Structure 1
């Protein structure tokens, strides 16, 4: 519960930052893990995403989820038209294999998105996954995406 409270405070505090550097609208095609293999829509400093999420809680074992959630973007870095920035998000995960099959989980994520070139971007972050009957787990969340700015 403490982690959820901290995450909500981060979301609320992002509105205190000037968000004038962020474009109004963006659609991203996400090709690897972060936030999921799927799509994401961002309006100013808030985005929603949905897709297929894979992770390895233990070496050599891939756990799979369907994932949807919301992300807050803050502290834009640099003077590019579409700057790199930090993010924090919360997601609903639905297990589709192994010990999480047909179970719900909560994901809490923080990290940084580096705008490499035009719409190409890389993400590095960490996710904490909480589910009833399972230990709280933290994993790295690398990602690669291409964004279209509307």
Structure 2
């Protein structure tokens, strides 16, 4: 089983490595909505780091707030924009600020896509799985809007 997983991962990395030059060497993202957070993101080729404020609704009409920082891996770029549209997977640390998560540490895994609509203006759609000690796993959609530019 391990051999098949390792072989599949290696094949995936080799086939997507050819697209490496599609990603700019350095870019900055200003994110204005939830995905990955309301804040800043720095991307170097396929890897980005982000930090900011993350509001979410685990139940209708009730917003829970977090501070969030994490990393993402970008793959399968498409389009002809200077910052290409692409899929991503990420891992984040969150610190609860309100409600039942106040002062709790949480981890999240997320996946989705960034679609560059015009120049650096982008829309994101993803899903996040968030877990904290003593809490059940939460799964939420993560829409976002932002602007990225190359350095």
Question: How many correspondences in the alignment?
Answer: 142
Instruction: Give the TM-score normalised by the residue count of structure 2.
Output: 0.89
Runs of 4+ in 1 over 2 A off after TM superposition: 12-16, 78-82
**Cα distance in 1 for residues equivalent to 2:142 and 2:48:** 17
- Corresponding position of 1:114: 115
**In the alignment, which residue of structure 2 is the partner of 1:101?**
102
Q: Which residue of 2 aligns with 1:50?
A: 51
Shift of residue 77 of structure 1? 1.4
1:75 aligns with 2:76: yes
CA contact (8 A) 2:94 2:106 kept: yes
- Could you say which structure has the larger radius of gyration? 2
**Alignment match, 2:22:** 21
Question: Which runs of no fewer than 5 residues in structure 2 stay unpaired?
Answer: none
Q: What CA distance in whole angstroms lies between the structure 1 residues aligned with 2:102 and 2:132?
A: 12
Matched, 1:36 2:47: no
User: What is the TM-score when the length of structure 1 is the normalising length?
Assistant: 0.89
Give the superposed CA RMSD: 1.8
* Partner in structure 2 of residue 3 of structure 1: none
The yes-or-no answer on 1:66 pairing with 2:67 is yes
The question of whether the paired residues in 2 share the 8 Å contact of 1:14 and 1:73 is answered with no
* Contact preservation (8 Å) 2:83, 2:148: no
Distance in 1 between the 2:131 and 2:101 partners?
A: 11
| Cα contact 1:56–1:63 (8 A) shared by 2 | yes
